[in-house]
Each structure stands twice: as C-alpha cells, then as structure tokens.
Chain A
Amino acid sequence: MRWNVLRSSPKTTIERAIGAIALVLAALGPLVFNQYWAHQILIETFLFGIAAASLIFLSAYGGMVSLAQTALFGIAGVILGNLATRGGPGGTSKGLHLGWDPTVALVVAIAMTTAIGLMFGAIAARSIGIYFLMITLTYSVITTYFLGQVTLVSGFSGIGGINRYTPSWIGDLTGHPNRLYYVSLVAAVFTYVLIRYVVRTPFGITLQGVRDEPVRMSSLGYNVPLHRTLAFGFAAFLASLSGVLYVWWSGQIAPGNVDLPETISLLVIAVIGGLARIEGAWLGAFAFIIIQNYVRGFTFPFLGFGGTLFGGSFNTVIGIIFLLIVLISPDGLMGIWDRALAARSRVGRAGPSAEAPARTGG
C-alpha cells in the first residue's frame, strides 16, 4: 500500500483516498445517514449515476453523446414490469402482467434492452456528431410515444407496483429498503469497475482509437461501426441495470419517465458531473438530486417565484448551474476538481518546498 502511495501521483492518491472514504461512507450509509437520505437521495444517486455512467462511457471513450440512454433505462423497466407483475384482484392494473418468475423477468429485461441497444447502435453507428445526437434523440421520442400509445404494454399511466415482484434472492425491497440500498450500491460499484475494466481491454483501447481517429482506425482494418455498435450495446446493458433498479425503487414506470425533460435531465446530470470522467456520473447525479430535493424551499428574492411551486425554482437553479458549468468548466465538476489539483500542484512546484512532479514512479 505504501509502495503504491509512493508510486502514485498526489492527485491519484487523493482521489483514491476520497474514493475509499466515499465507499466506506456509502457502505455504512443506512447507519450514517437518515432514512430519507439513505433510501431516497443515495439510492437515486446510485441508480441515476449508473444511467449517467452509460452516457459518459459512450461520450468519453466512444466520442458519442447519446440521448437514448433514458429510453433504454425506461425500456428495461417496462419490460420488467410487464413480465414480473401479476394482475387480478389486488394486483397490478396496467400492462401485460404476465407474472413470470422475477429472476427470469430480470434477466430477460436486461437481455432484451441490451439487444435493443445493439439494434439502436447498429443504426446510429455510421453517423457522428450532431447527426448521432439527433438519431438517439429520435430513439428517445419514439420510445416515449410508443409507451404512451401502446396501452397493452404501458399507456400514459405506465405500470405500477413493480417493486412487489422482486427475485427471492433479493427479497422484499419495500419492507427492507436497506436491501435495495446495498443492491444499488453494489450495482454502482460494479458499473464503475466494469467500465474501468472494459476501457483497458483491447476492445476499449480500440474504441478510444475509433473515438480519436475513426478514419485511420478504419484504414488499419478495424471495423469502426461494429465497435461503435458494441459500445452502444454495452451502454444499453448499463442503462438497463439502472432501469430495473429504478422500478424496484420507485415501483412504477411510465412514459413520463423517458420523455424529453427526463432525457435532458440525464444529460444535465452527465454534464454537471463531467462528460470526460466516469466518476462524474455519480457526482453529477448527487448534485442534481440534492438540488432537486432542497431547492423547492427556496424563493427568489424580489422575483416572486420558487418556493412551493415545484419546478419553477428547480428548473431555474439547475439551468443556471448548467450554464455556469458549460461556461466555466465544460468538463463539469470533475473538470473543476482536476484543474484545482493541477493548480495546487503548480503552486507546490513553484514554492520553496516544491515537491517532485506528479508522476514520480518508474
């Protein structure tokens, strides 16, 4: 451990330390935080962080800013809701309510969402930039209208009561919300580790090459659209994890969960956190959810709005923060953090007790 400390840059050391503290704090979450924070704010942070991580993965390592992640998140939730819930007296009143075994429904929901993601990706893989953005926005809009119009599987009301149908190995999540807390935490850590692993594999390295020099990679013989498609499928898999966690947490899924404002919200989370680093996903989700939860008590002085009218003050505050982030730090909060550490490092080098440069190992 000490050897690692000596070999690592100060920035890496600080980040690892903060990461370790955050992880310990998160692991002790239900003991450390009050019930609302543990079961609402932090679970939401974990699960929306996963969805944002899928977006950031595509952006940071594939050069693709996708607006379809919210749709994929919703598709997973709707599939799970249709497969797992039961109808009849006292049951769920909407959807197909097929009453499958929840574990089978879970696997099928994730697999189907990943397959749909691969299909979406295959269509969008040959476009770049604004065109890619528009195609993925189209996926989002199609999904919203499909769910709203096809009342057989959802309808405007969506499907409710899904959190009563969880796999036996997870147990009752409504009666024991700490279980959902830890399931979400494990899923978030799994997502982070998986992304870090994937980007170091030959596939991940190639994907980064595709991001930076698609023409050169193509001329070297790499199948650029295939790599993009696979990356999109992988991101869909991550979004599906977020989607199933969401329906276990919220109990419901409806077209309103995947509409344009929600799509933009996920993008805002990713931008606030930082589109360049995976860690930004959870940082952005945490900031967004805190603002969402606590800004409603705030009324703009002399402007006469905010306060009780949920949405007015929130949209304004989140809009101002979004603008500030875009203007001051396009890499989001993680970018601010990176620059602060870089500035500290420069000051340290210039001072009388200047330390060795960042990378001293080797």
Chain B
Amino acid sequence: MRRSGLRSWHAAALAAVGIAVGVALIGGISTSSAASQAKTVRVAIMTDCKGAFGFGYEPDIGGAEAALARYAHGKAKNKKKPSAGMTGITAGGANIKIVGYGCGNDTVPLAVTETKRLMEQAKADVMIGPLSGDEAVSVANYAKSHPKKTFIIGTAGSQDPTLQIAPKNVFRYHGDGAQWNAGTGEIAYRKLHWRKAAIIMDDYSFGWTSAAGLIADYCAMGGKITKRVFPPLNTTDYAPYIRQLPPPNSVDGYFWVVGGTGTGASLKAYEQAYGKTNPKKFVGNLFFAFLGNFSEVAPRLVGAYVGGFGTSPGLKTKAARAYEGNVAKIFPGLNGGNYADGFVYNYYNAAWALVQGLNKSHGALGAKLQSSLPRTLRPGYQVSGHGVLHLDKNRQAIQDQWPLQIVRKGGKPALTVVGFVPNVTQSFGGLFKKSSPPPGRTQPPCRKLKTPWQGKIRVVKNGVVTKGVIK
C-alpha cells in the first residue's frame, strides 16, 4: 500500500517535471533573458493577409520597407517578396529589427490577437499598421492601455483612432476615409448635377467614415441623401441590399462605398437588378480605383468620378517622382507597379516618419520617441504648403486630396486625377469634433454647410494642378 502511494507520487513528480521541461522548451519559463543588444528598436508591421484586403499584405510591407531601405539603410532579402524581411536597418544610432508581420483579416478579434502577439510576445516597441478601419479602432483602444508603445497607423481610414479615442501614442500620417473623399461630393453636385442621391456603404468603421466624407461634402452643397444602405463587410450576395436602394429613375445617382471583394459583386448585383451601369449615376470611393478592384470596376464605369486615397497617380512633381522612384528601386513592380496606391504610399510615409523620429530621439523609445516623431513630413503627393504635410493636435495628418475619374486612354480604362483639394483637415471644417459621435449609419446627418474648400477645388490636367477651379 505504501509503495503504491510512493510510486504514485513518483509518477506525479515525473509528470510535473515533464510539464516543466515542455513549458521551458517552448519558452514560457521566466529566465533571465540574454541582455538585449543596446539600442535595438523592435518594429512590427501589422497588415492583413486574409479577408477582403488580404492582397494588401505585400504592398503594405513593401511600402514600409522601401522607406526603411531609402532612409535607414535597410537591405531587402527578396526584392519580389517584402515579407521575406529586411536586414541592416539603422536609425538614430539604433538597429531596427523587424520582429514580426501581423496578419489580420479586417476583423477586430484577429487584430487584437495579432497586436498582442506582436507587442507582447514579439516585444515590439513600435507598430506600423494596421490596414483597416475597425482594426485601427481596436489598435487605438489597445494603445491607450500601453502608453509606452508607439503606433503609427499604416493605412486605416476610420475616424475614431485620432479623433474620438485619440491616444497620445497613436500617429497617422495620412487622411482618414472622410478626408480622402473631400471634394468628391462637390464634384457630383457641380459636374453631374446630382440633387438627390442614395448611398450604399460597408457596415463598419471605414465604410462609415468614407461615406461620411461623401455625404458631408455633397450635402454641404445642398444635395440630399434619400437612402442609406449598409451591407455587412464580406457579404457575398448583395441582391437584398441592392433591392433596398431606390431605383435609378428615382435618384440622380448613387455613392458607392463597398470594398474589397464586394465592390465587383455589388455592381454585378446592381446590373442584375437594374441593367447596365450608367457611369454618370455612380460615384465611388477609393474602392473603385484601388485595392485590386480597378480592372473589374473600370470597364463598367468609364467616366465615373472616384474619391481619392491621398495619392495622385501621374502627378508631375519632383517629390512624386522621387517617391515612386524610391519604391521602384527597392521593390520593382510592387503592387503591379502602382506605387500611387495608398497601401504602398501610406505605409511608406509611416515608416519614413518613424525613421525621422528615431533620428531625432537618438534611438530612444516611449515618450521620447513620441515627442520626437515629426509633426511635419514631405510626402510625395503633398503639394500645398510647399509640399509639407502637417499633423494636427491629435497627431492626424492634414493632407491634400485628389478626386479622380475613370477615363479611357489608348482604348483602355485608366485613372486620372481631376481635382486638387488642399490641406483637408479631419474636422472637415468643423463638422467632425472630438465630442461628436463618430461616423455611423446615420452620422453625419445630411446638412448644408460651408467646407473650407467649397468652390476652391482646383482642376488637375495631365498631372498638373491648374489655376482653374471646378465649376
């Protein structure tokens, strides 16, 4: 009997030792980790590799790494695959180590999981990312609880992270979804003579913010929105939502804010319900022009106006050519050679700002880095203010915007910049405030107001900003 007890304890002890060894092998036991090399800045790049924006994975990483190569001596391991990594990155006397690439799917739970993994398991000091609107909201909430970590949003366009939530350790060197659409609603009012319109928008933070820009800009002119429809993100069958839209004979046009794989699917559902699409009845947000949708959307909608992405494809300025040349040199053919895609451009500028911040803080992190991150930047597609982009007090970019149009060039659909809207603020001329509700299904209401750029949108022809204004 007693031997039995002893053997049982013996087995238990063995089991416990086995568990302990297993845990230690995996790395869980707290050990005095090897003293980390002095001044190594651990950087994570968070983007999506799955879901509606999964194709942004390499373009996002490539954009960030192109800036690290250009301004911080980084060497790409594989010029065709940015996610293969980069070596030799230094700034401010510190080595920059990319400790991981986050892989979201545009949903909050995975964004939180990946952010925790990068910041706590991989011990990143700085995150560049995320890609998508809701992800940025969740990252901003996370950032608020981790003030020593620094977050530079990659290319997400929700308004909340830098207006309503606005932690001091979150920076965004590009516009939000509403800013990107500045001027587009006015073009619909002036050029297409829309007075009554409907809007279909993805039912999440970016969809709402992007739609908010179109609604605010269009309603500011006196236009009316008669119906708002909200398909959930990743919807595959859009027919029920298209049926909620008023038929084409009862509105002057539709604002279309359906993204990712849903853009083409929603337009096809429209065609099945109402026949061929009339480009004069459609104005899209950036989803019509970027994020891999152009080849599917453009043949249907040659002539349609499109909201921008803070970029100006074909802009003939020295800064624009320099930026495009920098990316092409590091990752030739990245994103199909479309370097004016915000996926590449915004991640590039985020990483560039980080390098500048580290240079100024001499590799110091936390509050020192946050105070050293630049409040101005000279990105490729900024023209006003002699090419200098400013951050506002919430560390949000005040950025030039570029409404676009789908045209036919050489027999093929192409994208051309038609307007220049200088220095667009996140507040949209006072409409959006810290204390106001963030964009949503019913926010903002359709209201006539005076935007700072009303009647001042300059005409852009062949990549050159002219003195004429859009009438």
Contact = CB atoms under 8 A, between A and B. Distances in A.
B137 A13 contact: no
Contact of B435 (A88, A94, A156): A88
Most buried by A among B3, B11, B101: B11
Contacts of B15: 14, 18
Contacts of A293: 117, 121
Given A91-B164, A93-B137, A293-B117, A309 B103 contact: yes
B34 interface: no
A157 B439 CA distance: 12
Contacts of A90: 164-166, 434
B108 A33 contact: no
- A interface residue count range (under 10 / 10 to 19 / 20 to 34 / 35 or more): 35 or more
B166 A36 contact: no
A5 B13 CA distance: 15
A21 B16 contact: yes
Most buried by A among B103, B110, B141: B141
Contact of B203 (A22, A91, A155, A344): A155
Interface string A205-229: 0000000000000000000000000
Interface string B423-456: 0000000000011001011000000000000000
A21 B19 CA distance: 10
Interface stretch (B25-33, B286-294, B338-346): B25-33
A6 B28 contact: no
A338 interface: no
B120 A39 contact: yes
A22 B16 CA distance: 8
B238 interface: no
Nearest to B84: A308
Given A36-B120, A161-B144, A161-B165, A251 B137 contact: no
Given A14-B8, A89-B164, A33 B49 contact: no
A156 B13 CA distance: 48
A40 B120 contact: yes
A149 B8 contact: no
A362 B12 CA distance: 24
A149 B233 CA distance: 11
Interface in A35-55: 35-37, 39-41
B28 A33 contact: yes
A34 B108 contact: no
Interface in A141-186: 148-149, 151, 155-158, 160-161, 163-164, 174-175
A290 B110 CA distance: 16
Contacts of A157: 108, 133-134, 137, 204-205
A106 to B, nearest CB: 19
Given A13-B9, A39-B120, A355-B4, A308 B49 contact: yes
Contacts of B400: none
Nearest to A254: B108
A88 B434 CA distance: 7
Contact of B3 (A174, A254, A344, A355): A355
B12 A164 contact: no
A323 interface: no
Contacts of A355: 1, 3-4, 7
Interface string A342-362: 001000000001011000100
Contact of A33 (B29, B137, B141, B160): B29
A320 interface: no
Interface of B: 1-5, 7-9, 11-13, 15-16, 19-20, 23, 26-31, 33, 49-50, 83, 101, 103, 105, 107-110, 112, 114, 116-117, 120-121, 133-134, 137-138, 140-142, 144-146, 160, 164-166, 203-205, 232-233, 434-435, 438, 440-441
Question: Lowest 9 CB-CB distances: which A-B pairs, in order?
Answer: A17-B12, A160-B141, A174-B145, A37-B28, A254-B108, A256-B107, A310-B103, A93-B160, A13-B8
5 contacts: A14-B8, A14-B11, A251-B112, A257-B109, A311-B105
